[in-house]
Chains A and B, each alone.
Chain A
């Protein structure tokens, strides 16, 4: 089922340090915190999933800093 779609990798930077406890809820995105910001790296199948992720961040009151597509580097580290 997972391999039915090609995935696009995104890097989403938010304000504040988020711990790894959120990984499960953000669709398995990996979280790396640094300098008061957290970078979420997520592989999404389409724009709907990306918007869903952004909405969940919004619903937690988390401030968005940037959203960028990232080069595909194999598995989500």
Chain B
């Protein structure tokens, strides 16, 4: 098909939900998309993301999507991006719904382009893209260019007519296009039969024609070259690529080979790596003359090689200058380190086999990357190091343990803590780095706390604080202090807990660790509540909730503690409905984490309020969940007594008989959300605002709820929903 027709096809299918451009490298996928973008018939803005391998970190990937969208529609995805950066959020549950709502409200449609999607291997990203495609509003078209088909339900999209596909066969040049390209664009003067033979030999493959054009330019003996090329069965890239490379002046050839170790090229970086001070000029010349480099920005500061060509260059570099490769990576690492680009510095240090340098960079910078939510990036750095190196480096073991704590993979944490302790005992410590022993003890305290062993958490937490070398500079202190305080509280040492948590709030605030400060304030609120001091409890809970709201922590499981206290306080002020709402939210948040103690605490509070609201079956079910959570703890401290007390005091109803649920159609998650809000005084418009949905959507949901519950009015829906324990 002609290029111009392909663009026409894409424009004609502007209402297809997904446009897939899947073909081998060098087929002209990106060029086709650029031509489409530039075409006068297309007036939608393009939000364009050129992906690279570092985008396998979901936070970096979605940040890229948001920035690209914001360049086309300022302000879009602001709240989604804030959610992305909040600890404890998941992309599919919290970030995507916000983004989808923003997209739905766009007044002008937009095209979202994910170029080079084959570089994405992250299952998290694939899953989120699948969900995005499923719910994509009609204002947005998703375009994916890739060398391999993405793991999306393509056949379903195809069957629904929601997919337009451009594939390798479509992208091949026909003989007329090949002639136009060679004679007009490259400026050759070839005979029709020569063009036909080149077209046949390259099978219309864009990169093949381009390489052929470059080989022929500046040659007199066109016919002879075409004869030998057409009569040879050597692979085109090898035959022509080396031909082109060999014909370049030696300075340029050497420059291209040496700079091929880089993912991105800039004048200063290339000068440092290749040793050629004229790198800036050479890059411009390459772009002008042979189109092997592509500018990445309009200021002509950063470039990259054409994907296909860079592979060939790397092959040649490795084959002919094998000993130089390590040195080139080493220079690149040093340049990036000086430029403050830590991720690239680590990548090149690892590629050079300079694991010591990589470890030093990781040890110095992992914490700041984690604080920005870039866990996958840090995990990937360590993954690329030899496993013997990792287990023998106490700092890397600690980082692994911390990654495990952050992602809730508790079963791995203990192994890494033990490895860190062992490696620390064997190797020399460093005066510049945070004290290892206290790091090991702090993480052990966190691990024991999360896995429900408060006695062991207290012991480890005390040891961590005792091991601190005095100064407040250690990053472990703000982390270890709250955990010790909370553990003391559940261990029944209320006064010691209050003192430690008061210190913890101060230290964490001074350190700017809002998560630790919030968690510690929540703990203080719980203590004041137990003491019976409602005013102080309320003030402490408010403090924690404000911190959570100000620093995007409202979705973090650790914010459940303060909400659980607030809910119990509301219950005392005779507002059981409001208390129920808050306690339900507290339990949902707690269950996102893995800390059984806090899960049990909020569930017990929720069971209590449900019992008082007369929802006995519900209360029994929730109480059983709390009891199971406590039963799974090695040392639940005071919680085991609290569970027994709740049973004695409230005499929960026996477990409900099976089959008492609705025989009708189940409500969707969205409908359940709406149903919960129907209990309030809010109007449909206000509910729409609350859920970031349109009024029409709310009306549809409400109709479905009424139909499924077999009711006609709001009040009936609420009482029926309660009977079925839906709310």
Known: A16-B234, A18-B238, A21-B319. A60 touches B308 (CB 8 A): yes
How many Å lie between the Cα of A60 and that of B237 in the bound state?
Answer: 8
Q: Is the pair A61, B25 in contact by a Cβ cutoff of 8 Å? A: yes
Pick the contact of A36 from B147, B233, B312 — CB < 8 Å?
B233
Residue among B207, B232, B314, B315 with most chain A CB within 10 A: B315
Question: How many Å from the CB of A22 to the closest CB on chain B?
Answer: 6
In the complex, chain A residues 9-68 whose Cβ is within 8 Å of any chain B Cβ: 15-19, 21-22, 24-25, 36, 38, 56, 58-63
Q: Is the pair A19, B234 in contact by a Cβ cutoff of 8 Å? A: yes
Q: Is the pair A16, B311 in contact by a Cβ cutoff of 8 Å? A: no
Q: Which 8 A-B pairs have the closest CB atoms?
A: A16-B235, A36-B233, A17-B234, A17-B233, A25-B315, A61-B24, A61-B26, A61-B25
Q: Is the pair A61, B234 in contact by a Cβ cutoff of 8 Å? A: no
Q: Note all chain B residues with C-beta closer than 8 A to A21.
A: 238, 315-316, 319
Q: Is the pair B207, A61 in contact by a Cβ cutoff of 8 Å? A: yes
Q: Is the pair B236, A16 in contact by a Cβ cutoff of 8 Å? A: yes
Would you give 17 A-B contacts (Cβ < 8 Å), ordered by A?
Answer: A15-B235, A16-B234, A17-B234, A19-B238, A21-B315, A22-B315, A24-B318, A24-B319, A25-B318, A58-B24, A58-B148, A59-B25, A59-B311, A60-B25, A60-B311, A61-B24, A61-B26
State the interface size on chain A (CB cutoff 8 A): 18
Interfacial residues, chain A to chain B (CB-CB below 8 A): 15-19, 21-22, 24-25, 36, 38, 56, 58-63
Which chain A residue shows the least CB distance to B241?
A60
Q: Note all chain B residues with C-beta closer than 8 A to A18.
A: 234-235, 238
**Interface SS of B by simple majority:** helix
How many Å lie between the Cα of A25 and that of B319 in the bound state?
Answer: 8
Q: Is the pair A61, B308 in contact by a Cβ cutoff of 8 Å? A: yes
Does B499 belong to the interface (CB within 8 Å)? no
Residue among A16, A18, A22, A38 with most chain B CB within 10 A: A16
Question: B227-250 vs A: 1/0 string, CB under 8 Å?
Answer: 000001111111000000000000
How many Å lie between the Cα of A17 and that of B308 in the bound state?
Answer: 17
Q: Is the pair A62, B235 in contact by a Cβ cutoff of 8 Å? A: yes
Which chain B residue shows the least CB distance to A59?
B311
Q: Note all chain B residues with C-beta closer than 8 A to A25.
A: 314-315, 318-319
Known: A18-B238, A21-B315, A21-B319. A59 touches B307 (CB 8 A): yes
Does B652 belong to the interface (CB within 8 Å)? no
Question: How many Å from the CB of A16 to the closest CB on chain B?
Answer: 4
How many Å lie between the Cα of A24 and that of B320 in the bound state?
Answer: 11
Q: Is the pair A58, B25 in contact by a Cβ cutoff of 8 Å? A: yes
Q: Is the pair A60, B312 in contact by a Cβ cutoff of 8 Å? A: yes
Question: How many Å from the CB of B513 to the closest CB on chain A?
Answer: 38
Does B205 belong to the interface (CB within 8 Å)? yes
Pick the contact of A61 from B148, B205, B232, B318 — CB < 8 Å?
B205
Q: Note all chain B residues with C-beta closer than 8 A to A38.
A: 235
Q: Note all chain B residues with C-beta closer than 8 A to A36.
A: 233
Which chain B residue shows the least CB distance to A34?
B233
Question: How many Å from the CB of B507 to the closest CB on chain A?
Answer: 45
Q: Note all chain B residues with C-beta closer than 8 A to A56.
A: 311
Q: Note all chain B residues with C-beta closer than 8 A to A15.
A: 235
Known: A21-B315, A25-B314. A58 touches B234 (CB 8 A): no
How many Å lie between the Cα of A15 and that of B238 in the bound state?
Answer: 13
In the complex, chain B residues 130-157 whose Cβ is within 8 Å of any chain A Cβ: 147-148
How many Å lie between the Cα of A63 and that of B233 in the bound state?
Answer: 13
Question: How many Å from the CB of A46 to the closest CB on chain B?
Answer: 15
Question: How many Å from the CB of A28 to the closest CB on chain B?
Answer: 12
Question: B298-316 vs A: 1/0 string, CB under 8 Å?
Answer: 0000000001100110111
In the complex, chain B residues 320-334 whose Cβ is within 8 Å of any chain A Cβ: 322
Q: Note all chain A residues with C-beta closer than 8 A to B205.
A: 61
Q: Is the pair B315, A17 in contact by a Cβ cutoff of 8 Å? A: no
Q: Note all chain A residues with C-beta closer than 8 A to B234.
A: 16-19
Question: B662-680 vs A: 1/0 string, CB under 8 Å?
Answer: 0000000000000000000
Q: Is the pair B147, A59 in contact by a Cβ cutoff of 8 Å? A: yes
How many Å lie between the Cα of A22 and that of B312 in the bound state?
Answer: 10
How many Å lie between the Cα of A63 and that of B314 in the bound state?
Answer: 20
How many Å lie between the Cα of A59 and that of B23 in the bound state?
Answer: 11
5 other A-B residue contacts (CB within 8 Å) besides A17-B233, A62-B235? A15-B235, A16-B234, A17-B232, A19-B238, A21-B238
